[in-house]
Chains A and B, each alone.
Chain A
Amino acid sequence: MKDDTTGAPRTMPIQSATFSNPVNAEIRRAAATGIYDIRGGGAKRKVPHFDDLLFLGASISRYPLEGYREKCETSVTLGTRFASKPIELDIPVTIAGMSFGALSGPAKEALGRGATMAGTSTTTGDGGMTEEERGHSNKLVYQYLPSRYGMNPDDLRRCDAIEIVVGQGAKPGGGGMLLGQKISDRVAEMRNLPKGIDQRSACRHPDWTGPDDLEIKILELREITNWEKPIYIKVGGARPYFDTTLAVKAGADVVVLDGMQGGTAATQDVFIEHVGQPILACIREAVRALQDLDMHREVQLIVSGGIRNGADVAKAMAMGADAVAIGTAALIALGDNDPKWEADYNALGTTAGAYDDWHEGQDPAGITTQDPELMKRFDPIEGGRRLNNYLKVMTLEAQTIARACGKNHLHNLEPEDLCALTLEAAAMAKIPLAGTDWYPGKPGTTY
């Protein structure tokens, strides 16, 4: 900086783009505490996403369907490959697995209520199955996780599908952590652990390693449940082509693919922000794997990670997904991060929309908590109604787009209906850049 006694103009103080205020704050926090940051939610950085794609709509060569009047189907059947009782859903938007422990019992109930009203499924999570969600969910997917907290054959027999969790988009290769503050008597009992201790969830399954073992594990689960239940395999967005191929080889009915934007209850920030691929980069690779095995639509593909509205649903399906799953958006629909609690968020040193310390159990909205007083703030009946409304809007939006593309079923959306706004999105989604018929890496092109 120049000495201003000479009267010469001063240089502007410039914040470093590399050492930005948030970066410096994190360095100071780390220096003060010696502990990395753990938080909930998904990646907050901007990555290529569905917003970087657009639909082309109808034209002279493609005629549209009449809005409202002409039918545009939304149903989906999951588990047609091996299960004797596949799951039939009215809409292709499912509720992703979120653990009881991370969420309160009433929040799980609300997810069940809303999903059931909308004709879709909910999913348990780490920590086992609760009566709230079984009782209120017409279709409930039971997660089979490395921790096996609460795992038991009775719940396996009363679920509607089994989801073997290999990974999560927020933390492919990572386990879980539920901090002691959230371990109420009930949570502790379900997990067979003492109250108040930090509960780690293992990152690897305890009794199988690799796809050959997984195939035998699936055989066991099918034998226990008499080959009735669809078996899903959930993977984080790491190596989607190979993971999908191996999941199919191991005998999955459904592959669940979760991109890096996907939410989590509690993970290291460095993991959330730096490991895994954006969902946009994963979908076409997973679909290619299914197509190479002649299994596209025979093994269904559910994708998740940052799905927010009907346009995202339609885009995921146009790229070949059979359905999507939502976590964060469902919590927001229930009332998470609502500005009406701004004063409480401020008291926690944050603001509505940025609150992500879900693991600490102090959620002003009463959703990601086990504190009885905070839980009273959340009404599961109202929450269920809000979730149903939101799911309906998403579906209507997706239908609006599908009709504009001349499709009488959401499943008929196709890559040809899309263009990409950026080179990155074009390359990742293998969708032509707007105004061209080209994307980087397109077969037959040399650049």
Chain B
Amino acid sequence: MQTFDLEAQGLRALNSALHAQSADTNQTHWEIVNPKGSHAIAVGLDAPIEVDIKGSTGYYCGGMNKQATLHVHGSVGPGTAENMMSGMIVVEGDASQYAGATGHGGTLVIKGNASSRCGISMKGIDIIVHGNIGHMSAFMAQSGNLVVCGDAGDALGDSLYEARLFVRGSVKSLGADCIEKEMRPEHIAILEELLERGQCDAKASEFKRYGSARKLYNFNIDNAY
């Protein structure tokens, strides 16, 4: 295992070292110590490596990740896993705003709570939150799945496109064009797989599904605000 002291060696050296890993690297396991809330840790990775971050991170941890598996042993700042393409990011603590924003693929697991705008504009990523999520989550979410084992804040799924939202607890309010939808067997199957991937022991049958009413898909003056 490669151990990297972020405080001593600096961000540029860290990301350069991680970017230098190719598909067949034998340095497959990295440990980052002393992250101390730094921004842009392990961004733009593109190799099947595992990275353990021993502490909390600042903005955009794991941004644009491809292939790599990141494990944050702490909480994360805003925009974690933003625009992720593939791979997996697991956060042991809480996540600040815009977790998983615009993510195109891969899996983001947040074991604590996520703040507002979780999954904003998501484009294919799967996000599994063990706790609660804040307001305006899944705003303009295009595709992918957002699973919330706790409660959701105001205006969930506002201006939603084709993303699927599964919430176990209460939803404070639904955003424009977001409605509750029937949980059919295929959704239960999708959710069960997501819960397993997200290391979550909740039961799929306890969740409600929300999706787009598709009324804003083509501009209609009667739907304008």
CB neighbours of B218 from chain A (8 A): 180, 197-198
Q: Quick check: is B44 within 8 A (CB to CB) of the other chain? A: yes
- Determine whether A388 belongs to the interface, using a CB cutoff of 8 Å to chain B: no
B78 contacts A198, CB within 8 Å? no
CA separation between A216 and B162, bound complex, in Å? 30
B12: A residues at CB distance < 8 A: 223, 227
Give A220 to B161 CA distance when docked, in angstroms.
28
Report the count of interface residues on B (CB-CB < 8 A). Answer: 42
Please, how many angstroms separate the alpha-carbon atoms of A200 and B217 in the complex? 9
Which residue of chain B is the closest to A148 with respect to CB atoms? B102
| Inter-subunit contact B59/A192 (CB<8 Å) | no
**Interface residue B123 (Cβ < 8 Å from any Cβ of A):** yes
Contacts of A227 in B (CB 8 A): 12
- By a CB distance below 8 angstroms, the chain B residues around A35 are 219, 221
Taking CB atoms, residues of chain A closer than 8 Å to B162 are: 193-194
Given A193-B142, A206-B101: A216 touches B60 (CB 8 Å cut-off):
yes
Chain B residues with CB under 8 Å of A148's CB are 83, 102, 121, 123
B79 at the interface (CB under 8 A from A): yes
Is the CB of B98 closer than 8 A to any CB of chain A?
A: yes
Complex Cα–Cα for A152 and B63 (A): 11
How many pairs of residues, A versus B, come closer than 8 Å at their CB atoms?
106
- Chain A residues with Cβ under 8 A from B168's Cβ? none
Interface of A is mostly: loop
CB contacts (< 8 Å) of A177 on chain B: these are 219
Q: Which residues from B are CB-within-8-Å of A157? A: 44
Which of B70-84 touch A at CB < 8 Å?
Answer: 78-79, 82-83
Chain A count of residues within 8 A CB distance of the other chain: 33
Asked whether, in the complex, the Cβ of A217 is within 8 Å of the Cβ of B85, the reply is: no
Chain B 171-189 interface mask (CB, 8 Å, partner A; 1/0) = 0000000000000000000
Chain A nearest CB from B119 CB (Å) reads 10
B58 within 8 A of A: yes
User: Quick check: is B19 within 8 A (CB to CB) of the other chain?
Assistant: yes
B16 interface residue (CB < 8 Å to A)? yes
A-B contact pairs, 16 of them (CB 8 A): A35-B219, A152-B64, A153-B46, A153-B83, A177-B219, A180-B218, A191-B142, A192-B143, A193-B143, A198-B219, A207-B102, A207-B117, A208-B79, A216-B39, A220-B60, A220-B63
Interface residues of B (CB under 8 A from A): 11-12, 15-16, 19, 39-40, 43-44, 46, 58-60, 63-64, 66, 78-79, 82-83, 85, 97-98, 101-102, 104, 117, 120-121, 123-124, 139-140, 142-143, 159, 161-162, 217-219, 221
